[in-house]
Amino acid sequence: MSARDIAPSPTSDAASGPGTGFDTDVLIVGTGPTGGAAALALATYGVRAHAVTRWNWLADTPRAHITNQRTVEVLRDLGVEAEATTHATPWEQMGDTLFATSLAGDEIARLRTWGTGDDRIGDYVKGSPCPLLDIPQPYLEPVLVGNAAARGATFGFNTEYLGHTQDDAGVTVALKDLVTAREYTMRARYLIGADGARSRVVEELGLPLEGELARAATAYVLFHADLSRFVAHRPSILHWLMTPSAAFGEIGMGLLRAIRPWHTWIAGWGYALDGPGPDFDPESVKERIRGYVGDPDLEIEIESCSSWYVNQAHATRYSRGRVFCGGDAVHRHPPSSGLGSNTSIQDAFNLAWKLAFVIRGHAGPQLLETYSDERMPVGAQVVARANRSRVDYAPLNECFRTTGAADPVAAGLAKLRDSGPSGVAVRDALTAALELKNYEFNAQGVELNQRYTSTAVLPDPEAGEEHFARDPQLYLQATTRPGAKLPHAWLLGADGRRVSTLDVTGRGKLSLVTGLAGGSWVRAAAELDLPFLRTVVIGADGAEDVYRDWARIREVHEAGALLVRPDGYIAWRRPDATWDDEDALVRLRCALAAVLSTAA
């Protein structure tokens, strides 16, 4: 998909009034997952976007990597899913998560993860047209930024953000070219602070943060070694090692994470905040890695060493005036559960369509207030979940831990293999500890069950409170209730190939979804003739419900209607059949006015 598929209209305030003289519509500070996704979405929607970063290029270390189904859906909507997939470790190779004494040593347990287990894969396939992928940040960011630039976004590398002032018409941003030392200003309608966990924009806005920073510390070493013989027969991107060299800390395990199967890796371990810091002496690091692998003669090439702090904090508000913040700037947490870049990209996707609608005159500025209302609860949730997932390693570690043993690995294995009553108890505890880790590694509900509450969502007064049939953290509950993501169902496309309900909606427009019996809604949309509203008739050519999957999950009459936002979330629904054209017109007009904060 290209920007031409959106058919942008001119910006509403570009020609006259106090908003004249803008250098760009939206200036973005940061080119990470949040900034890159925001630039891509805005450029796709025909909005001028300029992103700056103080760095010479994009991410140079593979920090974030797990890309969950919802984020792949975002990439799909923005037309870059296929390209991103070429850079990813595919879903089937993400594999089991392994717990062992070393890669060459005894296995303690395996957990079927990322929805690949026999008992969960059906849930994941049913819930989305997209798989999970493992795309390390240095590979994903160029996809976002490269396509954003191809669609018209501009970028300033080696550019430092110095500060901003805002007024009723726009934002004046002070910048510094780090190559020439020249300081200058740019004028934008809106500013996005996507400048990471040490966000200067958040600090300037005085956005309140709740929680604790630097709760613990972790060392990371990026290295190259061919470990195919240890892992190719049991593919996995995460290997937890219980070895004497694992520097037993809060988690009590060392980590080997596959970056490029199976030759580029990260080794990770915890270290004490009040101690001397991690030992990055090359020989010490190699000895540690060889201990994790279980091969004293392993050839290793160290690329880089770094350390980071475990945070547990989130902003209670994401915006002030014409300035909006997202990503790590407003939710700061460890990588456990793989929620970081996913939440960041979804922040940008939520905000971008709203900025586009306001800038192009399709919505009132009050729509922008819903960004914080909708995304702040999500940020709070993922910060809590990521930190809980980290703590939840303790029961598993306890099953193996012994005290005072000369050989703690041998003692731990003996503890697990004891044939007496105490061994039975330990193995039962191990089973329970593995079940607990499903909340980190098989939490489809955490990733897809987000529910929005704001003025851009009109509740269904007949629906009542939602009750989840299964654990809402583990299992997706598909629904067309306003505030939920549009459920995925396969339809028959115009060329005879399958398309998802997600494929016939989104793409920068509101979608009015009805059935073959919904002629009144079709005529109402035609009467309004709005450039940002498409009509989707499921059952008609190009969207035929040949499996009857949509009929089973739509929760509205075939002559009812759904109003789906550009980000795929349901803004409003009319569950009952509507046969009267005037009734449909009035209801649709009122719903649009309320959702978009405009006069009816």
- CA 311 vs. chain centroid, Å, equals 18
Contact (Cβ atoms closer than 8 angstroms) between residue 41 and residue 349:
yes
In single-letter form, the type of residue at position 509 comes to K
Cβ–Cβ < 8 Å for 548, 491: no
The gap between the terminal CA atoms of the chain, to the nearest Å, is 33
The answer to whether 84 and 133 are in contact (CB under 8 A) is yes
Residue 250: count of CB within 10 angstroms of its CB: 16
Q: Is 320 exposed, middle or buried (0-12, 13-18, 19+ CB in 10 A)?
A: middle
3-state secondary structure of 381: helix
Start-end ranges of CATH 3.40.30.120 in the chain? 479-595
Q: What is the pTM of this model?
A: 0.94
Q: Is 125 in contact with 263 (CB distance < 8 Å)?
A: no
How far is residue 364's CA from residue 377's CA, in Å, rounded to a whole number? 23
CA atoms of 489 and 491, how far apart (whole Å): 6
pLDDT one digit per residue (tens) for the chain, 600 residues? 433 343 333 344 433 333 468 999 999 999 999 999 999 999 999 999 999 999 999 988 888 899 999 999 999 999 999 999 999 999 999 989 999 999 999 999 999 999 999 999 999 999 999 999 999 999 999 999 999 999 999 999 999 999 999 999 999 999 999 999 999 999 999 999 999 999 999 999 999 999 988 777 889 999 999 999 999 999 999 999 987 654 433 336 899 999 999 999 999 988 888 888 888 999 999 999 999 999 999 999 999 999 888 888 999 999 999 999 999 999 998 888 889 999 999 999 999 999 999 999 999 999 999 999 999 999 999 999 999 998 899 899 899 988 888 888 899 999 999 999 999 999 999 999 999 999 999 999 999 999 999 999 999 999 999 999 999 999 999 999 999 999 999 999 999 999 999 999 999 999 999 999 999 999 999 999 999 999 999 999 899 999 999 999 999 999 999 999 999 999 999 999 999 999 999 999 999 999 999 986
- CA dist list (Å): 538 to 363, 481, 497, 520: 27, 18, 15, 14
- How far apart, in whole angstroms, are the C-alpha atoms of residue 554 and residue 314? 35
> What's the CATH fold of domain 3-89+133-205+317-370?
FAD/NAD(P)-binding domain (3.50.50)
351 class by beta-carbon count within 10 Å (0-12 exposed, 13-18 middle, 19+ buried): buried
Cβ(43)–Cβ(51) under 8 Å? no
The CA distances from residue 23 to 14, 187, 189, 396, in Å, are 11, 5, 9, 55
Asked whether the beta carbons of 520 and 559 are under 8 A apart, the reply is yes
Q: H/E element holding 551?
A: helix 549-553
Start and end residues for every CATH 3.50.50.60 domain found in the chain: 3-89+133-205+317-370
The H or E element spanning position 165 is: strand 159-166
* Phi-psi sector, 520: left (phi>0), alpha (psi -120 to 50), beta: alpha
C-alpha distance from residue 229 to each of 104, 234, 261, 298, 441 (Å): 9, 10, 11, 12, 25
Give me the CATH topology for the region 479-595: Glutaredoxin (3.40.30)
Tokens of 167: 């007024």
Tell me how long the chain is.
600
Angstrom distance (rounded) from CA 474 to CA 476: 7
- Can you give the pLDDT at residue 275? 80
Q: Which of 447, 474, 223, 209 is nearest to 333 (CA)?
A: 209
Pick from 509, 516, 508, 530: nearest CA to 585: 530
Amino acid letter, residue 137: Q
By CB atoms closer than 10 A (0-12, 13-18, 19+), residue 281 is: exposed
According to the model, what pLDDT value does residue 20 have?
60
pLDDT (0 to 100) of residue 245: 53
3-state secondary structure 4-55: HHCCCCCCCCCCCCCCCCCCEEEEEECCCHHHHHHHHHHHHCCCCEEEECCC
Q: H-helix or E-strand containing 223?
A: strand 209-224
How far apart are alpha carbons 288 and 293 in whole angstroms?
A: 9
3-state secondary structure of 295: coil
**141 and 59 in contact (C-beta within 8 Å)?**
yes
In eight-state DSSP terms, residue 487 is P
Half-sphere exposure (Cβ direction) of 171: Cα atoms closer than 13 Å: 24
- The two tokens of residue 124 are 């994941």
